[in-house]
Structure 1
Amino acid sequence: MTALIIGGVLLFVDGNTLINEVSRIPPVVIFAGLGLGVAQVFLSAWRWRYTANLLGLPMPYMRAVREYYLATFTNQVLPGGVLGDVNRALRHGVDSRSRIAAAHAVAIERLSGQVVLVAVAVSGLAWLVQTGRIVGGEPAGADSLSHVYWLLAGLTAVILPGCFLVCRSEMVSSYFGRLRGDLAKALLSWPALPVQLLTSLLVIASYLAVFLVLASGAEYIVDLSSVMVIATLCSLLLLSMVIPLTVSGWGVREGVAVILWPMMGQPSEQGVALSVAYGAMIFISSLPGILFLFSSPVRGR
């Protein structure tokens, strides 16, 4: 699937231009990106440990870092981009002997990140529309925003009834009762909510910083406005990686770049170049996870 999507993307870009755009990124930028990759893992591991502690599953911080590195590497090499997180939950469940709570700790930690990412992406998209930066959009952006709101309302109208029908099952209802309790403790309570949202915002900022470092190295950034445009477009690239179709978002991320950059009046090769460089850099930064590939999740085993 990944190869097919990437092959389809290459049909819409000029190969020579893409290679030239990637070669514009100087090697020194890689070191800055790798440093940001380390910060991402340490921040994310802290968020996971904080969530697990609230659910009664204490964990040493450096163990959380090791497990997060392993999960990050696994997500980079296996299809779907979530199997590393599943493995992280299973390993923690074996150690803590509380599989459901361990799974909820991972799910809630990831959920807080996705909520913040959606908020950042939607806010940035609304800004692009309102300021008329999307090619063909009205300066006020009222009509375009109206279409976005109607789309969100339509998705809500489809999703909510489905959730209601699923939750009518007694077994599912019992499980969701447990999940609601854990959500209340680890995400929706005070001070859990602001801590989760702030930490997730820092994690998202570190991801966007990698894109911006790459864009700066390629000389795509010329002023503050270009910083905001690139950050918004790249937040949408990050959001596309949530779709579990390929390995680590490869192909889907580049396909979205092919669509988004021309909407800003920019060559699609620039967006694909940033996407490819980002994917390569995140993969390299995840390689320390190999060291923990065969470590046991249970203390003393």
Structure 2
Amino acid sequence: MPDRLRLMLRWVVTLALIVAVFWHLDQARIWAVLRTISPMILLPVFLLTVVQVVVSAWRWRFTLSRLRLSLPLGQAVREYYLATFLNQILPGGVAGDINRAWRSSLETGQRLAAVHGVAIERLSGQVTLAVVVVVALAGLLVSGSLQVTVTGPDSPNALLWIGAGLVILVPAVWLFRSGGKVAAYVRRLTEHLRLALWQWPALPVQVLSSCLVLASYLAVFLLLAASAGFVTGAVDLLLWAALGSFLLLSMVVPLTVAGWGVREGAAAVLWPMAGLPAEQGVAISVGYGVVVLISSLPGLVVLARGTDINR
């Protein structure tokens, strides 16, 4: 399939999912929630995302250093902003990271190590997120805050299981189709994983930095929920943080543009399971997508300045 057609299909899937979610919910209630979010929330959100990008860029730089590559922190921050912006506007959510890996390989002259540096840095964050989601899910199920039952193919909970299947299926299909390519890199990748993740003191550094990045993501989500009046105490805080971590995980599925559609669909399924209106989750999900896009705009400045990685 031509790349241009593949990109167009990603946009079609994104729009179709968003339309489907809004079609099955009360659009007036969604817009009512969105109107309660103050534009002033953009200032603390932007400050949080600055911290998020700086820590992420530092984590990437640390990972590269473990692979014996060097990248100045300021340069890493600029490249991370560019990657974040590209991930927000291009289908799949990984185009920016691919570009980041390619540009750093030009700088270092070590293509495989540069690619692995980006992949391992992202892996560090995704594994941390997965652990948090498992802990949050266990906590919600034990406390009874989340009810998971499958009553039939048309039930919302059945959609949850379908979504979970997609989370497993998509990477499996990718690995199957990549077969020989993946096998060819196993030995080098294993060595790089050992250096960047397991060899002391890499593991605690990766875990701590990834926890800080994840905390900044969740803080943005919680600020939006608090601005809409949904977080009024510790119980609400923990519940919305857990639900927010589920939405972040849903965005890992590389089917749409910046997770749009998949994130809102997950919210429409998860919020009723927690005893909350689906419209609340979808509205905050939409708000989250908008403020994250706005906060990525410094990457547009980097793009506008040109392609020289040292600029």
Which TM-score band applies after superposition, normalised by the shorter structure? Answer: 0.7 to 0.9
| Residues 265, 65 of structure 1: alpha-carbon distance in 2 compared, 3 angstrom cutoff | same
Shift of 1:134: 1.6
1:4-36 CA deviation, whole Å, 9 max, x = no partner? Answer: 110111122111111101111122222111111
Structure-1 residue corresponding to 2:286: 276
Matched, 1:197 2:207: yes
Structure-2 residue corresponding to 1:224: 234
Work out the number of aligned pairs and report it. 281
Q: TM-score, normalised by structure 2?
A: 0.85
- Tell me the distance in 2 between the aligned counterparts of 1:35 and 1:128: 30
| Residues 289, 172 of structure 1: alpha-carbon distance in 2 compared, 3 angstrom cutoff | closer
| Residues 173, 33 of structure 1: alpha-carbon distance in 2 compared, 3 angstrom cutoff | same
Aligned counterpart in structure 2 of residue 56 of structure 1, from 42, 45, 68:
68
Partner SS state of residue 10, structure 1: helix
Does the CA-based 8 Å contact 1:94-1:297 persist in structure 2?
no
Gaps of 5+ in 2: 1-12, 150-160
1:36-71 CA deviation, whole Å, 9 max, x = no partner? Answer: 111111110010011011111111100000000000
Aligned counterpart in structure 1 of residue 133 of structure 2, from 121, 133, 146:
121
| Residues 165, 229 of structure 1: alpha-carbon distance in 2 compared, 3 angstrom cutoff | same
Partner SS state of residue 220, structure 1: coil
Matched, 1:30 2:42: yes
Structure-2 residue corresponding to 1:93: 105
Q: Could you list the runs of 4 or more consecutive aligned residues of structure 1 that deviate by over 3 angstroms after TM superposition?
A: 162-167, 171-174, 296-300
- Counterpart code for 2:38: P
Q: TM-score, normalised by structure 1?
A: 0.88
Determine what percentage of the aligned residue pairs are the same residue.
49
Does the CA-based 8 Å contact 2:21-2:268 persist in structure 1?
yes
Root-mean-square deviation (CA, aligned residues, Å) is 2.3
Does the CA-based 8 Å contact 1:90-1:103 persist in structure 2?
yes
- Tell me the distance in 2 between the aligned counterparts of 1:208 and 1:261: 16
Does the CA-based 8 Å contact 1:89-1:106 persist in structure 2?
yes
- Tell me the distance in 2 between the aligned counterparts of 1:51 and 1:256: 32
Structure-1 residue corresponding to 2:122: 110
| Residues 212, 95 of structure 1: alpha-carbon distance in 2 compared, 3 angstrom cutoff | same
1:60-89 CA deviation, whole Å, 9 max, x = no partner? Answer: 100000000000000000000000000000
- Counterpart code for 2:35: S
Does the CA-based 8 Å contact 2:133-2:245 persist in structure 1?
yes
- Tell me the distance in 2 between the aligned counterparts of 1:32 and 1:88: 27
| Residues 299, 234 of structure 1: alpha-carbon distance in 2 compared, 3 angstrom cutoff | closer
Aligned counterpart in structure 2 of residue 16 of structure 1, from 24, 28, 31:
28
Structure-2 residue corresponding to 1:214: 224
Matched, 1:236 2:241: no
- Tell me the distance in 1 between the aligned counterparts of 2:307 and 2:81: 14
Does the CA-based 8 Å contact 2:137-2:242 persist in structure 1?
yes
Matched, 1:7 2:19: yes
Shift of 1:136: 6.7
Matched, 1:187 2:180: no
Shift of 1:295: 2.8
Aligned counterpart in structure 1 of residue 93 of structure 2, from 74, 81, 85:
81
Shift of 1:297: 4.1
- Tell me the distance in 2 between the aligned counterparts of 1:207 and 1:299: 28
Partner SS state of residue 283, structure 1: helix
Aligned counterpart in structure 2 of residue 292 of structure 1, from 288, 294, 302:
302
Does the CA-based 8 Å contact 2:91-2:258 persist in structure 1?
yes
Matched, 1:260 2:278: no
Structure-2 residue corresponding to 1:140: none
- Counterpart code for 2:306: S
Partner SS state of residue 232, structure 2: coil
Shift of 1:298: 5.0
Structure-2 residue corresponding to 1:142: none
- Counterpart code for 2:211: L
- Counterpart code for 1:189: Q
Shift of 1:296: 3.2
- Tell me the distance in 1 between the aligned counterparts of 2:291 and 2:232: 23
